[in-house]
């Protein structure tokens, strides 16, 4: 990531203090201890490595709680240890869309700080659920959609446009079972560190896992449901234009 050119400066020749003003994109890293490495030679490089262990610990705690919830009664948990090598990581939020689910360092730091904003837990739960999907018999092409549904169930908010299709399709099935209930208390203030949050969320997670595992079988109706959703969406958009 090229963050442009910045100048090294000093607070005073005798002070020993050296400062480097960093871009606003790194604002979330303020206050973190950093390891400083100097690569000497013909090309001089100074590397700042922030300590992101608190974010990793928060992701690990969320992973263990999520997999425990998805293991209730029927599934065997596949991850007491957080599989960091099964994710891609970046500083700022974005939809996954790659070979591995994506976790955002900003979200991990927000979870570690106990923030109650809905977006960090929703994105993190979605990524972890997508990574765990294969362990509960959900086919790889459906893993990202399953993650999106879990994130929406947890926090009741549509973080990315890519979530709309799988969440709408799952909503129709889950609503009939009395599971899909956006706007409940735990979704308004999602605290993934509490037992109450996961107890309230577990029935929805379990039912969503059953749905997507069933849709992973050959010859199921999921492809038809996607086609019908897109047709309905196109009709809605055309009505909005006319």
pLDDT digits (tens, 9 = 90+) for 166-220: 999 998 888 877 776 655 655 667 788 888 889 888 888 999 999 999 999 888 8
User: Per-residue pLDDT for 101 more than 90?
Assistant: yes
Tens-digit pLDDT profile for residues 134-160: 999 999 999 999 999 999 998 888 889
Per the listing, tokens 């109706």 go with: 221
- Where helices occur in 71-163 by DSSP H, the ranges are 105-112, 119-132, 140-155
Q: How much is the pLDDT for 212?
A: 95
Tens-digit pLDDT profile for residues 7-65: 778 877 667 777 777 777 788 788 888 888 988 888 888 888 889 999 999 999 999 99
Estimate to the nearest angstrom the gap between the alpha carbon of 43 and the chain centroid.
38
pLDDT band at residue 123 under the 50/70/90 scheme: very high
Q: Whole-angstrom Cα distance, residue 139 to residue 134?
A: 6
- Bridge-based pairing of strands 34-39 and 45-50 is antiparallel
State the greatest distance between any 2 C-alpha atoms of the chain, in Å, as a whole number: 75
What is the share, in percent, of the chain residues with pLDDT greater than 70?
Answer: 87
Query: In sequence order, what are the beta bridge partners of 13?
Result: none
Look up residue 97 and give its two tokens.
């869309």
pTM exceeds 0.75 for this model: yes
Find out whether 22 and 3 touch, Cβ atoms under 8 Å: yes
Q: Whole-angstrom Cα distance, residue 220 to residue 225?
A: 10
Count of CB atoms situated within 10 Å of the CB of 120: 26
Find out whether 167 and 149 touch, Cβ atoms under 8 Å: yes
Q: How much is the pLDDT for 73?
A: 47
Query: In sequence order, what are the beta bridge partners of 92?
Result: none
Q: How much is the pLDDT for 87?
A: 96
Range 104-118 average pLDDT: 89
User: Per-residue pLDDT for 78 more than 60?
Assistant: no
């Amino acid at each position: 990531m090229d963050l442009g050119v910045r100048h090294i400066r000093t607070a005073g020749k005798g002070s020993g203090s050296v400062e480097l003003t960093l871009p606003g994109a790194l604002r979330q890293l303020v206050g973190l201890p950093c390891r400083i490495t100097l690569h000497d030679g013909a090309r001089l490089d100074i590397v700042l490595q922030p300590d992101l262990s608190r974010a990793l610990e928060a992701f690990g705690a969320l992973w263990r709680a999520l997999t425990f919830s998805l293991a209730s009664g029927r599934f065997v948990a596949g991850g007491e240890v957080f599989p960091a090598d099964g994710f891609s990581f970046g500083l700022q939020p974005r939809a996954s869309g790659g070979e591995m689910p994506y976790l955002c360092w900003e979200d991990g730091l927000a979870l570690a700080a106990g923030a109650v904003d809905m977006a960090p837990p929703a994105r993190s739960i979605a990524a972890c659920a997508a990574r765990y999907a294969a362990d509960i018999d959900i086919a790889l092409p459906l893993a990202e959609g399953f993650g999106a549904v879990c994130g929406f169930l947890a926090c009741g908010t549509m973080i990315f446009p890519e979530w709309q299709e799988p969440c709408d399709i799952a909503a129709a099935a889950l609503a009939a079972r009395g599971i899909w209930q956006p706007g409940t208390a735990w979704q308004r203030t999602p605290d993934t560190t509490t037992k109450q949050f996961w107890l309230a969320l577990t029935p929805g997670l379990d039912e969503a896992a059953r749905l997507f595992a069933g849709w992973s079988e050959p010859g199921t109706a999921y492809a038809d449901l996607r086609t019908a959703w897109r047709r309905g969406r196109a009709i809605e958009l055309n009505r909005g234009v006319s």
